[in-house]
Amino acid sequence: MGGFFQAFWDIASSNSTYLNGALFAAFLAFAATGEWVAERAGTLNISVEGMLLAGAFTSAVGYNITESMILALFCGVLGGLIIAGVQAEMSHRLTADQFVVGLTLNILVLGLAGFLDNEIQPATKLASSFDVPLLSDLPLIGQALFGQRWPFYVLYPLIPFTWWLVYRTRWGLELRSVGENPQSADVSGIDVNKRRRQSIYYAGFTSGLGGWFLIFGQIGLFEDSVIGGRGFIAIAAVIFGGWTLRGTLAGCIIFAGALSFRLSVQGLGYEVNSELLQSLPFIVTLLGMAIFAHRVRAPAALAQPFVRGLK
């Protein structure tokens, strides 16, 4: 038992645990903030995995062509928006099943990215690091939160902007209303499916940023397996957080902690079953869903298609 507590302390006091945890949480937060907006509008955006992968691939190609990380950012956002456009138009203009569309897009993007990556083989690199004076010197969390590569800091304005957009603008009020009672919103003159499409576009925007961040702020290269199912973990974080922004971010941190724990165990030399470590983040996600999913209230019209005049 003493060995267990010693191992736990070694992991909890390791700087790498917090550094890796912050990187994983940031990546999940990019995707989850947009997914939270989409779900508040009543859409369940299964294609977030494909949006992340498209954003990562197009940003890598953009950098390969221009050698500019800023232009690569715009390319990444464009990639996420393209997938969002297909999801939005098919689900909320043509009224195709949003689950089928999302799963199909994920598979399509994975196949296209793998094929095009072999053809293009885009060259990328990591962005430079930037330490925030004084704050980066804080113990344990200083380097994790304020000593990262500069794409990491894009998340800091994105989170309050998303909160302001949803809770302090008329657009956000209308968006929340179509997620709770689309028929009443329609009677009030709100174009329900238009708002839902716009919410998916926002998810594409943040997921494109997330793909760009993954390439230039975390790993420095592109592979077709680079997302590795973490888009679905981002969806789980929204549900785990009870469809609140702070809860969603808390879910990102908890799930990222599981990912970081896996790396820290291996990095510190402890011998643990490798298959168990690989599955740990998904086990934690499933446990979190099982414990909390039934204790929170989803938007009343979540995943329900809207057809004018039908209840």
Helix (H, G, I), strand (E, B) or coil at 258: helix
In a domain? residue 128: no
Measured N-to-C along each axis, helices 230-240 and 245-267 cross at an angle, to the nearest 10 degrees, of 130
User: Binning pLDDT at 50, 70 and 90, where does residue 5 land?
Assistant: low
How far, in Å, CA of 190 to CA of 187, rounded?
Answer: 7
Question: Which of 30-39, 90-99, 201-210 has the least mean pLDDT?
Answer: 90-99
Number of independent structural domains in the chain? 1
7: pLDDT strictly greater than 60 = no
DSSP string, 125-144: -PPPB-PPTTGGGSTTHHHH
Going by the DSSP 8-state scheme, the letter that residue 220 receives in this structure is: S
236, amino acid identity: A
pTM of this structure: 0.92
Predicted confidence at residue 36, as pLDDT, reads: 97
Predicted confidence at residue 168, as pLDDT, reads: 96
Q: Which residues contact 82 (CB under 8 A, 6 or more apart)?
A: 54, 204
3: pLDDT strictly greater than 60 = no
In a domain? residue 284: yes
Percent of the chain past pLDDT 90, that is, above it, reads 66
Is the Cβ–Cβ distance between 196 and 43 less than 8 Å?
yes
Percent of the chain past pLDDT 70, that is, above it, reads 87
In a domain? residue 239: yes
How far, in Å, CA of 107 to CA of 149, rounded?
Answer: 31
Q: Which of 67-71, 256-260, 301-305 has the highest mean pLDDT?
A: 67-71
Domain that residue 258 falls in: 11-122+142-295
102: pLDDT strictly greater than 90 = yes
Q: 289 exposed, middle or buried (CB, 10 Å; 0-12, 13-18, 19+)?
A: middle
185: pLDDT strictly greater than 90 = yes
The number of angstroms, rounded, from the C-alpha of 26 to the middle of its chain's C-alpha atoms is: 8
In the chain, where do the E strands start and end? none
Predicted confidence at residue 277, as pLDDT, reads: 62
* Distances from the Cα of 136 to the Cα of 29, 119, 304, angstroms: 21, 41, 46
For the chain, report the end-to-end CA distance as a whole number of angstroms. Answer: 58
Question: Which of 3-12, 77-86, 126-135 has the least mean pLDDT?
Answer: 3-12
285: pLDDT strictly greater than 90 = no
Q: Nearest 5°: CA angle at 185, between 183 and 190?
A: 125
Q: 298 exposed, middle or buried (CB, 10 Å; 0-12, 13-18, 19+)?
A: middle
Please name which of 84, 98, 106 lies closest in space to residue 43, comparing C-alpha atoms. 98
In a domain? residue 135: no
Mean pLDDT over the full length of the chain: 88
Q: What is the pLDDT of residues 43-99, one digit of tens each?
A: 988 999 999 999 999 999 999 999 999 999 999 999 999 999 999 999 998 888 899
In a domain? residue 280: yes
Is the Cβ–Cβ distance between 79 and 58 less than 8 Å?
yes
Q: What is the pLDDT of residues 133-183, one digit of tens each?
A: 988 888 888 999 999 999 999 999 999 999 999 999 999 999 999 999 999
In a domain? residue 5: no
In a domain? residue 3: no
User: Binning pLDDT at 50, 70 and 90, where does residue 12 land?
Assistant: low
4: pLDDT strictly greater than 50 = no
In a domain? residue 6: no
Q: Nearest 5°: CA angle at 172, between 70 and 75?
A: 20
CATH, residue 255: 1.10.3470
1: pLDDT strictly greater than 50 = no
